[in-house]
Amino acid sequence: MPWKKQKGMPKVERKTLVIDAAGKVVGRVATQAAHILMGKHKATFEHHLDGGDCVKILNASKAEFTGKKWDEKVHFHSSNRPGGIKRVSVKKLREERPDVIIAHAVKYMLPKNTHLTARLKRLTVTA
């Protein structure tokens, strides 16, 4: 009977989608990944449910920034203590941990709610 309500949470089928970041702009790759992690590409999207897919981003070290961002852009992270803000330039991050650049961009493109940590666990970035 189509009018009967379904009991419990709906089942979500998750696929793994691969994005190649080689030669692409970091922001565009991050937007695409955030869109997939939220599940907005599916016809069954509901904003209060976490129905997104898994995302694997390849070649993070070959991603590009436009303009002078390699020289000027800085990532911040904090220990939540007074004076605990650390600054790391993106140029230095590209040499040491290029996967962090894209993961950071994706994190700040996702909505800040209870689904954030679960969505970030479905994101894998490889250099």
Mind listing the domains of the chain with CATH numbers?
16-125 (3.90.1180.10)
Contact 93, 75 (CB under 8 A): yes
What are the structure tokens assigned to 54, written together?
Answer: 């898994």
Q: How confident is the model at residue 6 (pLDDT cuts 50, 70, 90)?
A: low
Give the pLDDT confidence of 50-96 residue by residue, as tens digits: 999 999 999 999 999 999 999 999 999 899 999 999 999 999 999 99
Question: What integer pLDDT is reported at residue 99 of this predicted model?
Answer: 94
Contacts of 77 (CB under 8 A, 6+ apart): 85, 86, 88
